[in-house]
Amino acid sequence: MKKIIFTGAGVAIATPMNADGSINYEELGRLIDFQIDNGTDAVIICGTTGESSTMTDEEHIECIDFAVKRVGGRIPVIAGTGSNHTDYAVNLSKKAEALGADGLLLVTPYYNKASQEGLYRHYKAIADAVTLPIILYNVPSRTGTSIALETVKRLSEIENIVAIKEASGDISRVAKIRELCGDDITIYSGNDDQIVPIMSLGGKGVISVLSNCMPRETHDIAALCLENRYDEASALAIKTLGFANALFCDVNPIPVKEALNIMGFKAGSCRLPLCDTSDANKAKIRAEMEKHGLVGIIK
């Protein structure tokens, strides 16, 4: 069995921005500490929720470096270093390794529409260039490409490709990955509303948006599943479902940054082309947060 980077709930952490659009590192540090203090099991920096697609190369590297130093070994730091340009992803992955990241999250190449052989060669090139453990990220709704089951199987045979973040929404696919790959690949839920069903099929946790605002509850859902206490995990998942769904009333990470602002963090706005959500969505997010006592809790 391959080494597991983490079990439980890893936060796909948002990147706070100043009013001028620059990264607010002081607030990012506060958010990281809030996560660790409330049970988060790993920090995933520079993912989709972190707005990596609108970061400059320098910012991307600075964010990874900052997260590694701020976490200080307390929990694993996983760096998003994926790209639709293989050489670019290789170079960024090497830099993340040099900075001390504990693992890499590699989104499926987008826009190019690579063949399955192309996907295999892309991921193998990155894996061959680093020693860090790699998490594949399958999110066809964003990339337009899905990693076929047979390709997942082939990739799972590469030593340092150890996991997949499965955000296809297809529970049957998760079962088939488990059947094909067994312990050669760890499965993480990429959707907060599917933590329990995916973990019931052998998944080891979640890479979560919800954790930004409810780290303790998200950790507890995953921890209960790991203890085979699925009735309790399901009850807690259902309790948080309304808010989890509200965090996707608009394109991620627009709603979660709104929610963090409502909590009292200085998350700021998203960078264009993403913009603030509608007043109706803001009201929906706030109403769900009021149910959980989250409004204004960060001073």
Taking a C-beta distance cutoff of 8 angstroms, is the pair 150, 181 a contact? no
* Residue 244 burial (C-beta neighbours within 10 Å; 0-12, 13-18, 19+): buried
- Which neighbouring-strand residues pair with 10? 42, 207
- The CA distance from 299 to 291, in Å, is 19
Q: What angle separates helix 86-99 from helix 57-71, to the nearest 10 degrees?
A: 30
Catalytic site includes residue 239:
no
- The CA distance from 38 to 215, in Å, is 6
Taking a C-beta distance cutoff of 8 angstroms, is the pair 208, 9 a contact? yes
Taking a C-beta distance cutoff of 8 angstroms, is the pair 265, 259 a contact? no
The residue from 165, 257, 282, 284 that is catalytic is: 165
Closest CA to 254 of 226, 291, 295, 282: 282
Taking a C-beta distance cutoff of 8 angstroms, is the pair 8, 209 a contact? no
Instruction: For residue 147, report the phi and psi dihedrals to the nearest 5 degrees.
Output: -80, 115
Contacts of 36 (CB under 8 A, 6+ apart): 43, 71, 74, 75
Catalytic site includes residue 188:
no
Instruction: For residue 9, report the phi and psi dihedrals to the nearest 5 degrees.
Output: -115, 115
The residue from 137, 188, 204, 284 that is catalytic is: 137
Give the active site residues: 137, 165
